[in-house]
Amino acid sequence: MNQKGRSMVEMLGVLAVIGVLSAGALAGYSNAMKKIRLNNFTVAYAELLHNAMEILPKVDDGMARPGGTTLKAGMLKALNIIPSTMSTKGHDDGVYIFDKYNNQFWVFYGRSTYGIGFGFKPVELGEELCRTAVAIAKEHKYLYRIVTDRYVPDSESYNNISSKYNSDIQKMTVEEIRQMCTCDQSVCRLYVSWK
């Protein structure tokens, strides 16, 4: 008998090969998207940190509310020095900055230092974003302090994870940065401050 076409076994073999190739392509695509997101974060955060460190102390009066902290992102917005890939929400003293992945940043003045903070979660890229932010920040000569804490939103409480000051920041090892950015709670926060 003369057969035309493929047998069922051959077709199942072809489908299995296509399935394996698709799974590999999907994993590669996922890794590529993760790298793109991390690269976009790195560029935007580095620009925001540089602009804030260089310009804020020169144009701001350095005054905080009595016993508190004053948000300064509104001033950066007014000066038009927020990176083009970031946006702002809020008004007056309640302006927050968001990157295109909806990571929230706040620029502040308090306890005689300026700073940038952002919250991250242990899922997805949170800890990797924190490690990247610390690596970027530690290269700046004006840096005063880097702090991470665990924040419990419902109770408005936080626990300090790690703090580094002045020259200790530049000496941080990869392992110290990893420990500083390890988050096992719902939200952790990173603060980078300078004088």
The DSSP code for 2 is: -
Integer-rounded Cα Rg, in Å, for the chain is 23
Q: Each residue of 103-152: pLDDT tens digit?
A: 889 888 877 788 899 888 776 688 899 999 998 988 887 888 888 888 76
Stretch 175-194: mean pLDDT, rounded?
85
**Angstrom distances, CA of residue 165 to CA of 98, 162, 191:** 27, 10, 12
pLDDT band at 2 (very low <50, low <70, confident <90, very high): low
Q: What is residue 182's predicted lDDT score, i.e. its pLDDT?
A: 85
Q: What is residue 15's predicted lDDT score, i.e. its pLDDT?
A: 82
Q: Which sign does the torsion angle of CA 194, 121, 130, 178 carry?
A: positive
**Angstrom distances, CA of residue 72 to CA of 76, 134, 154, 167:** 7, 21, 25, 26
Which of 181 and 185 is assigned the larger pLDDT? 181
Question: What are the residues facing 164 on neighbouring strands?
Answer: 146
For the chain, give the mean pLDDT. 82
As a whole number of angstroms, the distance between CA 183 and CA 126 comes to 8
Domains and CATH numbers, the chain: 8-194 (3.30.1690.10)
**Angstrom distances, CA of residue 24 to CA of 20, 29, 30, 35, 175:** 6, 9, 10, 17, 31
What is this structure's pTM?
0.77
Q: What percentage of the chain reaches a pLDDT higher than 90? A: 12
Residue 61 clears pLDDT 60, i.e. is over it = yes
Stretch 185-193: mean pLDDT, rounded?
84
Q: What is residue 140's predicted lDDT score, i.e. its pLDDT?
A: 84
Residue 67 clears pLDDT 70, i.e. is over it = no
**Angstrom distances, CA of residue 80 to CA of 98, 124, 157:** 15, 31, 34
Q: What is residue 112's predicted lDDT score, i.e. its pLDDT?
A: 77
